[in-house]
């Protein structure tokens, strides 16, 4: 609790991997790899910057309460969280994918929608799903899941799923097809608003470093 530097909340896996070049652009190098280390608090080459490793969906919570000053979270996660009290200065253009509606091959999605029948939707992204189908005027029964959504239509838990798709390989491997695009997803830098005021001299250079790295990559 006596730490006077800044704390950045990240999740393991693709977000950590894709954040490394952004950290490098801000002059920050982690001293350990969270994939091989079991540590949840990871130091860096800078005594005044540390990383914490949390579940992707917990990142906004740590930043909202100020337990982390900054974080990196997918737009999907921020949508579900609500983003209350979070400053979102940058789209980092990492962990890019699309939120889609998918069904079993052969399922007549268009026909079902046209008939006005209720549709059972299984998803981790209940806010996004509710908003999407309400916008189309389609009545749904929402079934909240925490992962492996692809299974739901195969065993009759739901008619459709709302899930993130990048290559479509997982859908294909399970005999599913994407039938509707809901939104494009990428990860955002999020900042605790009080921390930004109190620790601006430490936080602003990180925002600027990330920003220049995103700009450079976009131009390349
Ligand atoms: P957890 O594994 O803790 O349940 P998660 O599956 O959301 O959480 P990750 O798989 O690391 O965690 O995904 C982190 C973020 O990466 C997601 O919030 C999303 O924004 C993005 N993402 C998810 N799936 C893909 C994908 N297939 N391709 C690219 N980006 C993705
Ligand atoms: Mg995942």
So what's the pLDDT on residue 147? Answer: 95
Q: Which CATH superfamily is domain 97-184 in?
A: Periplasmic binding protein-like II (3.40.190.10)
123 lines ligand 1 (CB under 6 A): no
**pTM, full prediction:** 0.95
**Cβ(206)–Cβ(94) below 8 Å:** no
Rounded to whole angstroms, the Cα distance separating 70 from 9 reads 6
Q: With 0-12 CB in 10 A as exposed, 13-18 as middle and 19+ as buried, what is 54?
A: buried
Question: Do 6-96+185-218 and 97-184 fold alike per CATH?
Answer: yes
Q: What is the DSSP letter of 70?
A: E
15 lines ligand 1 (CB under 6 A): yes
| Tens of pLDDT, residues 54-64 | 999 999 999 99
Please name the residue whose Cα sits nearest to atom 7 of ligand 1. Answer: 56
**Cβ(210)–Cβ(22) below 8 Å:** yes
Mean pLDDT of 100-111: 97
CA of 80 to the centre of ligand 1 (A): 13
Rounded to whole angstroms, the Cα distance separating 69 from 197 reads 11
Q: Where are the domains of the chain?
A: 6-96+185-218, 97-184
- Does residue 146 have a pLDDT over 70? yes
CA of 77 to the centre of ligand 2 (A): 11
Q: Which ligand is nearest to the CA of 57?
A: 1
164 lines ligand 1 (CB under 6 A): yes
- Does residue 219 have a pLDDT over 80? no
Please name the residue whose Cα sits nearest to atom 20 of ligand 1. Answer: 74
| Tens of pLDDT, residues 108-122 | 999 999 999 999 999
Mean pLDDT of 11-20: 97
Rounded to whole angstroms, the Cα distance separating 88 from 148 reads 29
82 lines ligand 1 (CB under 6 A): no
97 lines ligand 1 (CB under 6 A): yes
The string over 131-146, giving b where at least 16 C-beta atoms fall within 10 Å of a residue's C-beta and e elsewhere, is: ebbeeeebebebbebe
Class at the top of the CATH hierarchy for domain 6-96+185-218: alpha beta
Q: Which ligand is nearest to the CA of 55?
A: 1
Q: Is residue 29 very low, low, confident or very high in pLDDT (cuts 50, 70, 90)?
A: very high
Q: Is the dihedral of CA 149, 151, 156, 160 positive or negative?
A: positive
Contacts of 30 (CB under 8 A, 6+ apart): 20, 23, 42, 43, 44, 51
């Amino acid at each position: 609790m006596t730490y006077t530097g800044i704390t950045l909340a990240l999740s393991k896996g693709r977000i950590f991997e894709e954040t490394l070049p952004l950290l490098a652009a801000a002059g920050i190098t982690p001293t350990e790899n969270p994939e091989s280390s079991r540590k949840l608090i990871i130091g860096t080459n800078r005594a005044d910057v540390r990383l914490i490793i949390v579940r992707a969906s917990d990142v906004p919570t740590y930043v909202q309460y100020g337990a982390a000053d900054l974080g990196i979270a997918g737009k999907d996660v921020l949508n579900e969280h609500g983003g209350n009290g979070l400053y979102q200065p940058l789209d980092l253009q990492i962990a890019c994918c699309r939120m889609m509606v998918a069904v079993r091959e052969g399922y007549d999605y268009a026909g079902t929608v046209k008939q006005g029948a209720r549709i059972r939707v299984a998803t981790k992204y209940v806010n996004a799903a509710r908003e999407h189908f309400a916008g189309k005027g389609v009545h749904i029964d929402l079934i909240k899941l925490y992962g492996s959504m692809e299974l739901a239509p195969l065993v009759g838990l739901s008619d459709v799923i709302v899930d993130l798709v990048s290559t479509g390989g997982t859908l294909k491997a399970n005999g599913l097809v994407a039938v509707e695009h809901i939104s494009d997803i990428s990860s955002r830098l999020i900042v605790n608003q009080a921390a930004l005021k109190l620790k601006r001299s430490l936080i602003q250079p990180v925002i600027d470093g990330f920003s220049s790295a995103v700009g450079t990559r976009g131009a390349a």
